[in-house]
Amino acid sequence: MSKENRFHSRQYLKLRLERKDIDDDPFIQFDSWYTKVLEAEIDFPNAFVLSTVGAAGVPSSRVVLLKNYDEGGFSFYSNSLSRKGRDIIENPVASLCFWWPEFERQVKVDGEVSLLPEQEVDKYFASRPRQSRIGASVSRQSEALASRQLLEQQYEQFRSEYKGKSIERPDFWKGYIVRPLRFEFWQGRKNRLHDRFRYLPSVEGGWSISRLYP
């Protein structure tokens, strides 16, 4: 069997999704699925694929961790000088994609990106373990690095320089929040007849919900 064909017969049989099961409010719907994922104690429940696209129009994706969500949006932390950070400056939009195989569920959230208030970011940075704060401070995320050894040297140098001192958040380390303009909830189903519901902002306020072909 070729590597590609091994997955042809995979079926999605665990759950189903009807219009009556989903909430009119996509934030409540997200919360309901996310709560189940947390209860199931799966690995990395908060990991999602973040896609950005800079001025050149070339998309780029990577996994990041969700730090918080509420009606204001979905937030994460990163280095603003990274590829994603630069993309967001050039074009402040992003697409988030969660995949929870244990539930055969996918959630997509597309929206506008803005920076979290500095105070909030400072507070979160200060709450992180010291080693992570040092790691974040010395990483020139997404830049070419001559060797692993250099990175470890820079870590050690920073660590000894700051011994006994507090480590402030570096200015390039930012918090981002994505304000959703579109949601999609996907439930895997038998014979590839998956259930999909899309939420778009409606003109009257609130959200308009459509079932989509799988």
Ligand X SMILES: Cc1cc2nc3c(=O)[nH]c(=O)nc-3n(C[C@H](O)[C@H](O)[C@H](O)COP(=O)(O)O)c2cc1C
Binding site residues, ligand X, CB under 6 A? 44, 47, 60, 62-65, 76-79, 82-84, 141-142
Quote the CA–CA distance of 86 and 187 in Å, as a whole number: 33
Quote the CA–CA distance of 41 and 116 in Å, as a whole number: 28
Q: Which of 192, 196, 198, 211 is catalytic?
A: 192
SS3 of 12, please? coil
CB nearer ligand X, residue 29 or residue 78: 78
Quote the CA–CA distance of 160 and 154 in Å, as a whole number: 10
CB nearer ligand X, residue 68 or residue 142: 142
CB of 67 to ligand X, least distance (A): 7
CB nearer ligand X, residue 108 or residue 174: 174
Parallel, antiparallel, or unpaired: how do β-strands 68-70 and 59-65 relate? unpaired
The label of the residue with tokens 């969660």 reads 98
CB of 207 to ligand X, least distance (A): 28
Give phi and psi for 202, each to the nearest 5. -95, 155
CB nearer ligand X, residue 83 or residue 128: 83
CB of 136 to ligand X, least distance (A): 9
Contact in structure between 115 and 178 (CB atoms under 8 Å): no
16 is catalytic: no
Q: 73 is written with which tokens?
A: 């949006």
CB of 77 to ligand X, least distance (A): 6
Instruction: Determine the distance from the C-alpha atom of residue 70 to the mean position of all C-alpha atoms in its chain, rounded to a whole number.
Output: 14
Residues designated catalytic: 192
